[in-house]
């Protein structure tokens, strides 16, 4: 039962940023597959090992229900924007501190803030953009801090901005820059079909 903790945590961590972390999500899916196979083997062997009549003794196997319960709960939580919003609220003050520093003296380039790992921190359109390192469900994704302004979608580059919280926006550059730039991945949540179409680098 303890084996479900690692894949559940990896899955939730993988969707904590817009576009998700590719490597973390793949590790979570592999770990869940391994846990699922082990659960199936253990479940079948325990049912076979029950003395007859088995129906009366199936109640002893209630711990086997924990794996599918944790799987369903983590998958449900990872599919929405709950994890992303909660993680952002924890790191918001530190992100704003970094954004103010970058706006004053553009020099940071990239860095980590808590659970966030950014491949770039830059300025554009009067905003500070935090580009997520190795997003899994989009070509590019991240946060934009735009105090007092609304960023414009950039058709040439395929940037699509979505209001998030106050002066904060999330942005995506979806896979298929030209043909699919306004449909496809959503900013938040686990989207397996978009993970499969990841653009090779």
CA angle 198, 201, 182 (to 5 degrees): 45
Contact 98, 115 (CB under 8 A): no
Which of 27 and 52 is assigned the larger pLDDT? 27
Is 61 in the same domain as 100? no
Contact 46, 159 (CB under 8 A): no
CA angle 89, 190, 33 (to 5 degrees): 125
Is 103 in the same domain as 190? yes
- Nearest by Cα to 70 from 135, 7, 28: 7
Mean residue pLDDT across the chain: 84
Q: Per residue in 7-32, pLDDT tens?
A: 999 999 999 999 899 999 999 999 99
Residue that finishes a domain, picked among 56, 79, 102? 79
- Copy the structure tokens of residue 46: 């325990």
Contact 153, 161 (CB under 8 A): yes
Checking DSSP bridges between strand 159-165 and strand 140-145, what pairing results, if any? unpaired
Residue 201 lies in a domain: no
Q: Which residues of 22-60 are buried (b: 16+ CB within 10 A; e: fewer)?
A: bebbebbbebbeebeeebeeeeeeeeeeeeeeeeeeeee
CA pair distance 197, 36, nearest whole angstrom: 24
Residue 118 lies in a domain: yes
Contact 54, 46 (CB under 8 A): no
- Specify the pLDDT at position 201: 47
Radius of gyration of the chain (CA): 21
Residue 13 lies in a domain: yes
Is 113 in the same domain as 56? no
How many distinct structural domains can be found in the chain? 2
Residue 74 lies in a domain: yes
Residue 105 lies in a domain: yes
Range(s) of the domain holding residue 150: 82-196
Residue that finishes a domain, picked among 63, 79, 95? 79
Cis ω for the linkage preceding 53 (within 30 of 0): yes
Is 92 in the same domain as 74? no
Which of 200 and 82 is assigned the larger pLDDT? 82
Is 120 in the same domain as 102? yes
Is 25 in the same domain as 8? yes
Q: Per residue in 28-51, pLDDT tens?
A: 999 999 999 988 888 777 666 666
CA pair distance 62, 90, nearest whole angstrom: 36
Residue that finishes a domain, picked among 21, 56, 79? 79
DSSP-derived letter for residue 12 is H
At residue 107, the 3 state secondary structure works out as: coil
Residue 70 lies in a domain: yes
- Model pTM score: 0.82
Give alpha helix (H) positions in the chain.
5-14, 22-49, 66-79, 82-104, 192-196
């Amino acid at each position: 039962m303890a084996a479900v903790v690692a894949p559940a945590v990896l899955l939730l961590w993988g969707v904590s940023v817009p576009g998700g972390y590719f490597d973390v999500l793949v590790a979570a899916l592999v770990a869940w597959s391994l846990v699922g196979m082990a659960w199936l083997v253990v479940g079948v062997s325990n049912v076979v090992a029950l003395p007859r009549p088995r129906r009366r003794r199936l109640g002893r196997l209630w711990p086997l229900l924990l794996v599918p319960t944790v799987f369903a709960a983590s998958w449900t939580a990872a599919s929405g924007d709950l994890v992303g919003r909660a993680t952002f609220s924890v790191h918001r003050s530190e992100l704003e501190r970094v954004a103010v520093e970058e706006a004053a003296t553009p020099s940071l380039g990239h860095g980590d803030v808590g659970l966030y790992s950014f491949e770039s921190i830059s300025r554009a359109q009067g905003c500070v953009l935090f580009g997520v390192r190795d997003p899994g469900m989009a070509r590019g994704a991240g946060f934009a801090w735009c105090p007092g302004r609304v960023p414009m979608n950039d058709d040439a580059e395929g940037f699509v901005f979505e209001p998030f919280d106050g002066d904060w926006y999330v942005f995506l550059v979806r896979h298929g820059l030209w043909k699919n730039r306004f449909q496809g991945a959503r900013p938040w949540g686990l989207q397996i079909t978009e993970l499969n179409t990841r653009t090779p680098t």
